[in-house]
Amino acid sequence: MANRDLMLGQNHNIGIGQGQSLVLGHNHSLGLGQNHDVALGQGHSMDLGHAHHDHEIDLGHPHDDHELGLGNSEDQDAEDHHHHDYMNENEISVDQKPDHDDVDPDLVLSSQNHDFSLSDNNNQLVVGENHELDDNLELAVDSSHEIEIDHHGDMVMVSTPVQARALTADMTYQLTVGQEFPDVKSCRRALRDMAIALHFEMQTIKSDKTRFTAKCSSEGCPWRVHAAKLPGVPTFTIRTIHESHSCGGINHLGHQQASVQWVASSVEQRLRENPNCKPKEILEEIHRVHGITLSYKQAWRGKERIMATMRGSFEEGYRLLPQYCEQVKRTNPGSIASVYGSPADNCFQRLFISFQASIYGFLNACRPLLGLDRTYLKSKYLGTLLLATGFDGDGALFPLAFGIVDEENDENWMWFLCELHNLLETNTENMPRLTILSDRQKGIVEGVEQNFPTAFHGFCMRHLSESFRKEFNNTMLVNYLWEAAQALTVIEFEAKILEIEEISQDAAYWIRRIPPRLWATAYFEGQRFGHLTANIVESLNSWIAEASGLPIIQMMECIRRQLMTWFNERRETSMQWTSILVPTAERRVAEALELARSYQVLRANEAEFEVISHEGNNIVDIRNRCCLCRGWQLYGLPCAHAVAALLSCRQNVHRFTESCFTVATYRKTYSQTIHPIPDKSLWRELSEGDPSVNKAALEVIINPPKSLRPPGRPRKRRVRAEDRGRVKRVVHCSRCNQTGHFRTTCAAPI
């Protein structure tokens, strides 16, 4: 019979799985191309049985592929088959349909010194005890077929009932009589891992403190193992084991032993390296490595179990809150951190935290402007995160205080604003007259009136425009609403309202019901510096959304780390600025300078000027820092008319800007440091030696709130703030010639 060869293409590995074989007839060889290995760990020895003394091992030169030649010099019939089995008569299958080329009758090995051992019976291919396969190579079963070469030398593909699996072989799965384990749990884990690796399911017959017996779940399969406890020690040892299987393995995609705990242990290392790994990615990895298909819930629960060990449980987070608050005050002196529980059962109700660096920066360098907002937590016990945020001289958000409450209601908003008032009153002699922006819900309005009676309280235009959009669903109307809110004068404001009224009288009526002094720049009495929205949650959404699903202490630590990083980065960035004003203010003044060059200026006295432009005439008073266009008063920076007047009398424009826009004040904003907090394992030890720590607070135990996240996937509601500077596409109806809808949805009478 002619020599026939089986050649594997480049980059293919040989997979050895249970119950699959590659049967080669006499004088047939298996050839692997370049870089294809059957890999065994270093230090394995080659031992030829007595009955096969004529088998040869041919290792190539170091620079060539090492070859293993399985010859046969015995006098046998050419049609006899030699079955080379890997443990328990596992069969060899190949990755894909191979190419048929003439190759040398050799089996190529990797470049290291790896040897096989051929037993005396059945030419079995075995590896000595405690030997491991090379980590970089796989023995994989990627097909549910066997390849056989018949008596005539032809290659035949034979179907098998075993499902496609991927297996990274590990010889630690081999059990022997007398093998010992530290305890019964270790014994169970070893058996479980072996069952998953070798693709059979195991049924526990007996399991107690002294004995463990299991068998193969397949009916009639003789595989069985029995382990028992050694006297006087917790060690378990294998007493008896029947290693052979007659079942051929499982024929479905799941696995009975693939529990949540097994999933957790399988992906623990990956989650430690990448905690953001999604359950879907875990499913894909387990299927790729182990050939097992699990449910999404199993992967999610496995991830949650590991994350709980890494970051602590949600329950532990609430329990440690009193200690965490003490650590915030210890590491950041002057900070405010307080937690409140229900008097009845000490269940969590409220948490308030504000760092000293934020308090100092807001009171000494920020604009007297605050935005109030909230975001709903996604953690196990839900809750709401309340935020009070200022704005630095460059227009960036400057978080001042955080509150976490079990639910959003009027009472909790009143408490949060009371804490905010106490914070500001304690740290300054003269309470600044604030401008506050919010959605003006009932609880916030009452809280502001009671705690900040002199503050100007206006609508956040993001909330107002979203309500307007829901009511009328007309992009053009929404754009006009924003233009009306931005109008600097009453005349401009009324002109925009008339345009809205021409399109929809109902929309104009809806707008007029809301007092313009609460939202329109032309009527608003406070100074908003051009900020029409608080826009807190949207601006912070990139990291707040991720933190909102963590246990409460981990969430607050995520927020603290972000603030700490911001303070440092902005502090270092500002040290490189060489201008007098912050970049955004410098650009605004530069634009005003360009416009001012074409204006004509007439001087009335040392402080009053008349500025003539193509837009009209405006009166500027440089002593009171005001212009008839109201731009100087509202934004805190000289408008183009003011710049023209200042240039005409040789004044330095930068001297007439609000102090919060200077680089020196900006550096003062971030001059303080938010300090790190040590690991929770050190809290009690550090607190005991610090006299400033309230020892009684450390003994308080806060229980989780009673609100639990409901089952099922929550509905997503994306809130998108209107982009004021972008022109939106306006749809037009070809039937009634109105905007805001299409012909197909037109409801106008014919």
Show which of 532, 556, 590 is a domain's final residue. Answer: 532
pLDDT at 143: 36
Show which of 532, 563, 594 is a domain's final residue. Answer: 532
Same structural domain, 564 and 452: yes
Distance between CA atoms of 179 and 238, rounded to whole angstroms?
Answer: 5
Q: How many domains does the chain have?
A: 5
Q: How many Cα atoms sit within 13 Å of 535 on the Cβ side?
A: 17
Three-class secondary structure assignment of 480-533: HHHHHHHCCCHHHHHHHHHHHHHHCHHHHHHHHCCCHHHCCCCCCCCCCCCCCC
Residue 713 has pLDDT above 80, yes or no: no
Q: Tell me the residue range of the domain where 273 lies.
A: 260-311
The closest of 208, 565, 599, 559 to 404, measured between CA atoms, is 559
Distance between CA atoms of 229 and 239, rounded to whole angstroms?
Answer: 10
Residue 347 has pLDDT above 70, yes or no: yes
Residue 340 has pLDDT above 50, yes or no: yes
The phi, psi pair for 384, rounded to 5°, reads: -135, 135
Q: Give the percent of the chain with pLDDT over 90.
A: 33
Which of 272-276, 424-428, 597-601 is predicted most confidently?
A: 597-601
Residue 124 has pLDDT above 80, yes or no: no
Q: What is the mean pLDDT of residues 435-443?
A: 87
Question: Is residue 725 included in any domain, yes or no?
Answer: no
Question: Is residue 501 included in any domain, yes or no?
Answer: yes
Both tokens of 599, joined, read: 């204006």
pLDDT at 277: 85
Using an 8 Å Cβ cutoff, are 35 and 11 in contact?
yes
Q: What is the mean pLDDT of residues 342-365?
A: 93
Distance between CA atoms of 622 and 719, rounded to whole angstroms?
Answer: 42
Which residues face 386 on adjacent strands? Answer: 374, 403
Question: Is residue 750 included in any domain, yes or no?
Answer: no
pLDDT at 115: 41
Same structural domain, 508 and 382: no
Q: How many helices (H) and strands (E) in the chain? A: 21, 29
Q: Which run of H or E residues covers position 470?
A: helix 461-472
Cβ neighbourhood burial of 711 (10 Å; 0-12, 13-18, 19+): exposed
Using an 8 Å Cβ cutoff, are 456 and 598 in contact?
no
Residue 535 confidence class, pLDDT cut points 50, 70, 90: low
Residues 6+ apart with CB under 8 A from 202: 191, 192, 195, 214, 215, 216, 217, 256, 257
Residues 483-507 as b or e (16 or more Cβ within 10 Å = b): bbbbbbeeeebeebbebbbebbeeb
Q: Give the percent of the chain with pLDDT over 70.
A: 72
**Residue 106 or residue 404, greater confidence:** 404
Same structural domain, 441 and 569: yes
Show which of 496, 513, 532 is a domain's final residue. Answer: 532
Question: Is residue 688 included in any domain, yes or no?
Answer: no
**How many residues are given for the chain?**
750
Same structural domain, 425 and 317: yes
Q: Which tens digits make up the pLDDT trace of 440-462?
A: 888 899 999 999 999 999 888 88
Mutual angle of helices 461-472 and 505-512, in 10-degree steps: 150
pLDDT at 215: 92
Same structural domain, 429 and 551: yes
3-state helix, strand, coil in the chain (%, to 5): 35, 20, 45
Question: Is residue 728 included in any domain, yes or no?
Answer: no
Helix (H, G, I), strand (E, B) or coil at 451: helix
Question: Is residue 630 included in any domain, yes or no?
Answer: yes
Using an 8 Å Cβ cutoff, are 270 and 276 in contact?
no
Distance between CA atoms of 51 and 127, rounded to whole angstroms?
Answer: 18
Same structural domain, 391 and 446: yes
Q: What is the mean pLDDT of residues 207-235?
A: 90
Question: Is residue 232 included in any domain, yes or no?
Answer: yes
Residue 677 has pLDDT above 90, yes or no: yes
**Residue 511 or residue 40, greater confidence:** 511
Using an 8 Å Cβ cutoff, are 346 and 703 in contact?
yes
Distant-in-sequence contacts of 719-727, Cβ < 8 A, 24+ apart = 719/462, 719/466, 719/537, 719/538, 721/462, 721/465, 721/466, 721/533, 721/535, 721/538, 722/461, 722/462, 722/465, 722/466, 722/469, 722/478, 722/479, 722/482, 724/482, 724/486, 724/532, 727/479
Same structural domain, 208 and 328: no
Residue 16 has pLDDT above 90, yes or no: no
Mean pLDDT of the chain: 76
Helix (H, G, I), strand (E, B) or coil at 403: strand
pLDDT at 37: 42
Among 113-122, 569-578, 620-629, the range scoring the smallest mean pLDDT is 113-122
Among 86-100, 294-308, 509-523, the range scoring the smallest mean pLDDT is 86-100
Q: What is the mean pLDDT of residues 682-700?
A: 80
Question: Is residue 79 included in any domain, yes or no?
Answer: no
**Residue 291 or residue 158, greater confidence:** 291
Residues 6+ apart with CB under 8 A from 466: 719, 721, 722
Same structural domain, 653 and 509: no
Residue 382 has pLDDT above 70, yes or no: yes
C-alpha distances (whole Å) from 581 to each of 238, 364, 393, 593 are 78, 17, 9, 15
pLDDT at 264: 87
CA angle 81, 84, 85 (to 5 degrees): 130
Task: Supply the Cα-derived Rg of the chain in whole angstroms.
Answer: 38
Using an 8 Å Cβ cutoff, are 131 and 40 in contact?
yes
Q: How many Cα atoms sit within 13 Å of 194 on the Cβ side?
A: 21
Same structural domain, 381 and 428: yes
pLDDT at 168: 36
Same structural domain, 360 and 486: no
Helix (H, G, I), strand (E, B) or coil at 391: strand
Q: Which residue has the tokens 């049924």?
A: 203
pLDDT at 173: 65
Helix (H, G, I), strand (E, B) or coil at 424: helix
pLDDT at 7: 41
Same structural domain, 538 and 411: yes
Using an 8 Å Cβ cutoff, are 60 and 67 in contact?
yes
The closest of 565, 559, 569 to 536, measured between CA atoms, is 559
Residue 355 has pLDDT above 60, yes or no: yes
Same structural domain, 567 and 636: no
**Residue 421 or residue 93, greater confidence:** 421
C-alpha distances (whole Å) from 535 to each of 312, 396, 437, 507, 676 are 32, 11, 10, 24, 28
Q: What is the mean pLDDT of residues 329-333?
A: 94
For residue 304, the Cα-to-chain-centroid distance in whole angstroms is 13
pLDDT at 589: 93
